[in-house]
Amino acid sequence: MFLDITDLTKNFGGLVAVNQFSMGVGEGQIVGLIGPNGAGKTTVFNLITGVIHPTAGKVEFDGKDVTGKSPHTIASFGIGRTFQLTPLFTEFSTLENVVASYYLHPRSSFWDTFFNSPTYRRNEAYALEQSLKILDLVGLSKVKDELARNLPHGYQKMLGIARALAVQPRLLMLDEPLGGMNTDEITFTMDVMAKVRSQGMTILVIEHNMQILDLCDHVVAINFGQKIGEGTVLEVRNNPDVIKAYLGEQNVA
């Protein structure tokens, strides 16, 4: 597996937020991680990306043990993510937000930067060129000069995806990318995800909006920190434990 999670567990005092959770993501797949509010989905994301450290268990990415490593180290291995509440540089333009993400992989030395060397200027031009390509991919070219704080909600969410892409990830983790969007924004975002996937990107996505399942090759369902089902979209939709978690006992039949 490209991403392999084994018996991941996180305790917050006496609360077991994630309990011996295991799942895998194959290279080139779109995998959905679904479950009701409070199921532990974002905690799993935070454990994978080093935002919090697991109590037990293991996370491997492309054969490397990344368990408990710092977020910037994990990002440098090729894992990029978004958040439910998109953290943007609000006083930067849309374009500047994306360019800033390229500095996770600095290409210029301190002295190149200090003396404004030809190498530094070439690297800055490259970052700008690649950022413009990403904005074109996600449909934000027309607002590239707009301050991030002035963007509509859907555009801010898409800018979060653009920034994650600028990290140059091999695995893109999206935490509720459709949250709060209207119908047109949802359709556009799903089209962008399909385009990103067509370029070879592997995607792991958390989402409450079940439209996302139309893009997924594989789905994992979680509730109360434990895996309650996985398989194809059809298998998970028909899983009694998943139906119970979402709709209650009376709807299982």
Q: What is the mean pLDDT of residues 136-144?
A: 93
Residue whose pair of structure tokens reads 């996770």 in the numeric block: 104
Q: What is the mean pLDDT of residues 229-237?
A: 94
Q: CA angle, 58 as apex, 11 and 165 as ends, to 5°?
A: 100
Q: Residue 204 pLDDT > 90, yes or no?
A: yes
Range list for CATH 3.40.50.300 in the chain: 1-78+169-253
Identity of the amino acid at 122: R
pLDDT value at position 251? 53
Chain mean pLDDT for the chain:
89
Q: Residue 108 pLDDT > 60, yes or no?
A: no
Confidence of residue 220 (pLDDT cuts 50, 70, 90): very high
pTM of whole model > 0.85? yes
For residue 223, give both structure tokens: 């509730």
Task: State which CATH number among 3.40.50.300, 2.40.128.20, 3.50.50.60, 2.60.40.10 fits the domain covering 1-78+169-253.
Answer: 3.40.50.300
Q: Residue 118 pLDDT > 60, yes or no?
A: yes
pLDDT value at position 94? 96
Q: Residue 151 pLDDT > 90, yes or no?
A: yes
Q: Residue 117 pLDDT > 80, yes or no?
A: no
Tens digit of each residue's pLDDT (9 = 90 or more) over 23-58: 999 999 999 999 988 899 999 999 999 999 999 999
Q: Residue 111 pLDDT > 60, yes or no?
A: no
pLDDT value at position 199? 87
Task: Give yes or no for a contact between 204 and 169, defined as CB atoms under 8 angstroms apart.
Answer: no
Task: Give yes or no for a contact between 199 and 172, defined as CB atoms under 8 angstroms apart.
Answer: no
Considering only CA atoms, give the Rg of the chain: 19
Give how far Cα 200 sits from Cα of 20, 62, 131, 193, Å: 30, 15, 18, 11
Q: What is the mean pLDDT of residues 107-136?
A: 74
pLDDT value at position 234? 93
